Amino acid sequence: MKITLQNLTKKFKSKNKKDPNDVIAVNDFTYEIPEGKLIGLLGPSGCGKSTVLNLICGLEKPTSGRILFDGEDVSDVEPEHRGVGLVFQNYALYPHLTVYQNILFPLQNLRGKDKLTKDVMDKKVMEAAKLVQIEEYLERRPAELSGGQQQRVAIARALVKMPKVLLLDEPLSNLDARLRLQTREELRRIQRETGITTIFVTHDQEEAMSISDYILVMNAGRLDQYGRPQDIYDDPKNLFVAKFLGTPPINVFEGAIRGGKIVIGDEAVTDFDAPDCSVWVGIRPEGMTPDPEGTFTAELDRVEIMGRDTSVVCRHPACQSPTVRAVIFAKRADEVRPPDVRFALEPSKVLVFDRDTEERIRPSAEDNNEK
Amino acid sequence: MKNKNLKALLFLLPAILFLGVFMVYPLIDVLIYSFEEGYNSASQSFFGVGAYNYSYVLHDTYFLQALKNTFIIVIITVPVSTLLALLISLGLSSIKPLRNLFQTVYFLPYVTNTLAVGLVFMILFKKTAYTDGLVNMIIKMFGSGPIDFIDGPYWAKMFVMCFYTVWVVLPFKILILTSALASVKEDYYKAAKIDGTPKFRTFYKITIPMISPMIFYLVITGFIGAFKAYSDEVAIFGTDLNAAGMNTVVGYIYDMLYGDSGGYPSYASAAAILLFLIVFTVTVINLMISKKKTVY
């Protein structure tokens, strides 16, 4: 099902007496969620992403704006009539019911013409259990399951009524690192098998990047950018999005454009066709390669070897954070010697942002090409 | 290891001593007294050992009346007060404005003195030469004759007694249940709402099981408390409970020790042991049921 969010705005009454202004949790959010895709709603804590989810499922009513399901306005429809499934961060499984009874619960709520016979209910529960691969635990209670298994039960419970939309609120946050990896693959598989439009909220950019078809990046109640994960990573719209996506995060320097070149400190690091101005220069860690002929110099702090990756950690006075991090091939680690390292920069990994608005500045030549 | 045990024992010593002297020893002593026939507290002597004390108590019409009264109070007040408390707590947790005010109002009886409240109840219900009392005045408005609740027929008196007992135990139960209701996580209700669960089903299938441990706690302590009722009866009917026909088992024990017909610690001990056995049995049954019904 296609979900359209039109100028969605949600304000909460302020509980702080010193600041009586309303809290704007979601601000003018407009987006069309395509059918049958897995959508990652990404943003830092408190940016309003959970509120967007609550608005879609109907637990909250929008202050203004509309929500359309397949073109039909559902803004005032009660949650139970919207045909949505919701999975909570802490699973919210009923602790006094077995796994089987938990999954059965939504089906037993059906009344009147939708009422199901026992056999049909049983069949549906078994199907859902099979889909999330928890058939062997049906007689257990939630407390007897691991976090990952509990989360699967929660997904089965949300799916058993075959909702048109599946919403997941931070579904993986309560799991440990290994389970998180496993469960997110599982999530991807379940979404593919059912083809249900799925929206999941997360503050973990890696999670969103790895399994989403599309990512929506939210910041302070606004939709900052949306697109395919790699597109957003390669081509962020502003400094916030650039910093939020990527581990290790992008290195940000105070810099300037001078005569068609990007200048950091007193080095002209690479060509950039734009009018002179002060800027933020972002360099992705994988865009820096140690090279004696390189154009960018930083003082070496240490070399970190973590399994597959080798990071060169440096210091640079113009950098926003205390250290500059470059991810390089392990083979080249030998070439790195104190005190100073020279790096060659990959131009596509160097991103330039306006110093004041923090919006992306694109080279004029590139603009011309696009036109 | 031995050293460790010794240390642990040393730490436990104050509690063991205290409990031993003031709890365990008296309990054993009561048991011994209850089997000593013809015990005289002045000379500290007795004729022999046997079950005569029990036989006497079980044949005493005052004891049987007290036992009957106690059971009626228990059977009526425990379910009624628990159900009422549940209803009121549900009401309290679903209203937003003035919730604190109502919570305070409902909790007030808990901090007021039993005897003072009993006096007020007596004034409300008592019929004297000058007035029929407030309750009777209300009954009159509906066209019924005045009933003497304090000195009148047995069921009228029992009604006042149960009414009063329920009123006295309500605040504590409301306090416990409102906090139990508040501790049920909001997410369960959200999940139920999205699944389109009807309100009653949500209450019956989610809320009640979630707070069931607290309900069982209240039922168990309620049973124990009601079996030990005494001061509430004195508050309304005065100290001569046998004459009013409203004595309880604890009241009977007190009378046997210190009442006008008192001075019989052996009979009192036998009655006390009987009460202990009853409370013990009921509590064990309660615990067995609650273990079966609450699963988490």
Q: Kindly state whether residues A62 and A171 are assigned to the same domain.
A: yes
Residue A366 has pLDDT above 60, yes or no: no
Residue A72 has pLDDT above 80, yes or no: yes
Of B185, B187, B201, the CB nearest to A109: B201
Are A106 and B193 an interchain contact pair (Cβ–Cβ within 8 Å)?
no
| A303 vs B144, residue with greater confidence | A303
Question: How confident is the model at residue A153, as a pLDDT?
Answer: 92
Q: Kindly state whether residues A313 and A201 are assigned to the same domain.
A: no
Are B198 and A88 an interchain contact pair (Cβ–Cβ within 8 Å)?
no
Q: Kindly state whether residues A231 and A303 are assigned to the same domain.
A: no
Give SS3 for A242. Answer: helix
Are A96 and B295 an interchain contact pair (Cβ–Cβ within 8 Å)?
yes
**Band of pLDDT at residue B94, cut at 50, 70 and 90:** confident
Chain B CB within 8 Å of residue A31 CB: no
**Band of pLDDT at residue A215, cut at 50, 70 and 90:** very high
The CA distance from A155 to A150, in Å, is: 9
Chain B CB within 8 Å of residue A164 CB: no
Q: Kindly state whether residues A39 and A174 are assigned to the same domain.
A: yes
What H or E segment, with its residue span, contains residue A300?
strand A296-306
CA distances from A96 to A173, A206, A360, B4, B184 (A): 24, 35, 53, 40, 13
Residue B296 has pLDDT above 80, yes or no: no
**The one-letter amino acid at B259:** G
Of B191, B196, B209, the CB nearest to A92: B191
Of B188, B193, B212, the CB nearest to A94: B188
Q: Which of A238, A267, A297 is the last residue of a domain?
A: A238
Q: Kindly state whether residues A20 and A41 are assigned to the same domain.
A: yes
Cα B102 from chain centroid (whole Å): 24
CB B136 within 8 A of CB B128: no
Q: Kindly state whether residues A318 and A225 are assigned to the same domain.
A: no
CA distances from A334 to A337, A338, A341 (A): 7, 11, 12
Of A80, A95, A157, the CB nearest to B193: A80
Chain A CB within 8 Å of residue B186 CB: no
Of B187, B205, B296, the CB nearest to A141: B296
User: pLDDT digit string (tens) for B155-176?
Assistant: 888 988 999 999 889 999 999 9
Are B196 and A109 an interchain contact pair (Cβ–Cβ within 8 Å)?
yes
Query: Which tokens hold the place of A263?
Result: 């200048």
Are B195 and A81 an interchain contact pair (Cβ–Cβ within 8 Å)?
no
Chain B CB within 8 Å of residue A77 CB: no
Give span(s): CATH 1.10.3720.10, chain B.
Answer: 60-117+147-293
Are A86 and B194 an interchain contact pair (Cβ–Cβ within 8 Å)?
yes
Test the A interface: residue of B183, B194, B204, B212 with most A CBs within 10 Å? B194
What class has domain B60-117+147-293? Answer: mainly alpha
Residue of A289, A290, A315 whose CA lies nearest to A301: A315
Residue B189 to chain A, least CA–CA distance (Å): 9
Which domain, by its residues, includes A283? 248-370
Are A92 and B185 an interchain contact pair (Cβ–Cβ within 8 Å)?
yes
Q: Kindly state whether residues A149 and A204 are assigned to the same domain.
A: yes
| B293 vs A327, residue with greater confidence | A327
Nearest residue of chain A to residue B211 (CA atoms): A96
Chain A CB within 8 Å of residue B201 CB: yes
Q: What does the pLDDT average to over B110-128?
A: 82
Q: What percent of chain A has pLDDT over 70?
A: 98
Q: What does the pLDDT average to over B186-205?
A: 89
Strands A296-306 and A309-315: antiparallel
Residue A168 to chain B, least CA–CA distance (Å): 12
The CA distance from B250 to B229, in Å, is: 7
Residue A87 to chain B, least CA–CA distance (Å): 8
Nearest residue of chain B to residue A85 (CA atoms): B194
Residue A367 has pLDDT above 70, yes or no: no
Question: How confident is the model at residue A370, as a pLDDT?
Answer: 42
Q: What does the pLDDT average to over B71-96?
A: 92
Q: What does the pLDDT average to over A159-180?
A: 87
Residue B292 has pLDDT above 50, yes or no: yes
**Band of pLDDT at residue A80, cut at 50, 70 and 90:** confident
Residue B294 has pLDDT above 80, yes or no: no
Are B196 and A85 an interchain contact pair (Cβ–Cβ within 8 Å)?
no
ipTM over 0.85: no
Please check whether residue A243 lies inside any domain of the structure.
no
Residue A260 to chain B, least CA–CA distance (Å): 56
Q: What does the pLDDT average to over A328-333?
A: 76
Question: How confident is the model at residue B78, as a pLDDT?
Answer: 95
Chain A CB within 8 Å of residue B194 CB: yes
Least reliable range by pLDDT among A78-82, A279-283, B14-18, B248-252: A78-82
Residue B294 to chain A, least CA–CA distance (Å): 8
**Band of pLDDT at residue A368, cut at 50, 70 and 90:** very low
User: pLDDT digit string (tens) for A292-323?
Assistant: 888 888 888 888 887 777 888 988 888 888 88
Residue A157 to chain B, least CA–CA distance (Å): 9
Chain A CB within 8 Å of residue B184 CB: no
Question: How confident is the model at residue A365, as a pLDDT?
Answer: 58
The CA distance from A65 to A7, in Å, is: 5
The CA distance from B207 to B181, in Å, is: 7
The CA distance from B42 to B45, in Å, is: 8
Q: What does the pLDDT average to over B188-212?
A: 90
Chain A CB within 8 Å of residue B196 CB: yes
φ/ψ (deg, to 5) at A342: -100, 135
Residue A334 has pLDDT above 80, yes or no: no
Cα A346 from chain centroid (whole Å): 26
Q: Kindly state whether residues A215 and A267 are assigned to the same domain.
A: no
Q: Kindly state whether residues A138 and A255 are assigned to the same domain.
A: no
Question: How confident is the model at residue B65, as a pLDDT?
Answer: 93
* Number of domains chain A contains: 2
Residue B41 has pLDDT above 80, yes or no: no
| Helix locations, A14-170, DSSP H | 49-57, 99-108, 118-131, 147-159
Chain B CB within 8 Å of residue A111 CB: yes
Residue of A189, A207, A210, A196 whose CA lies nearest to A133: A189
User: pLDDT digit string (tens) for B232-281?
Assistant: 888 888 878 888 888 999 999 998 888 776 678 888 999 999 999 999 99
Please check whether residue A171 lies inside any domain of the structure.
yes
Q: What does the pLDDT average to over B121-146?
A: 77
Residue B196 has pLDDT above 80, yes or no: yes
Strands A296-306 and A267-271: unpaired
Are A59 and B187 an interchain contact pair (Cβ–Cβ within 8 Å)?
no
Nearest residue of chain A to residue B195 (CA atoms): A106
Residue B99 to chain A, least CA–CA distance (Å): 18
Are B190 and A143 an interchain contact pair (Cβ–Cβ within 8 Å)?
no
Chain B CB within 8 Å of residue A72 CB: no
**Band of pLDDT at residue A371, cut at 50, 70 and 90:** very low
Q: Kindly state whether residues A208 and A283 are assigned to the same domain.
A: no
Of A79, A94, A143, the CB nearest to B194: A79
Question: How confident is the model at residue B13, as a pLDDT?
Answer: 93
Residue A217 has pLDDT above 70, yes or no: yes
Give the CATH number for residue A147. 3.40.50.300
Residue B136 has pLDDT above 50, yes or no: yes
| A334 vs B244, residue with greater confidence | B244
Residue of B268, B265, B270 whose CA lies nearest to B42: B265
3-state secondary structure A28-59: EEEEEECCCCEEEEECCCCCCHHHHHHHHHCC
Residue B15 has pLDDT above 90, yes or no: yes
Are A96 and B296 an interchain contact pair (Cβ–Cβ within 8 Å)?
yes
Q: What is the mean pLDDT of chain A?
A: 87
Are B210 and A96 an interchain contact pair (Cβ–Cβ within 8 Å)?
yes
**The one-letter amino acid at B41:** S
CB A109 within 8 A of CB A79: no
Q: Which of A204, A238, A272 is the last residue of a domain?
A: A238
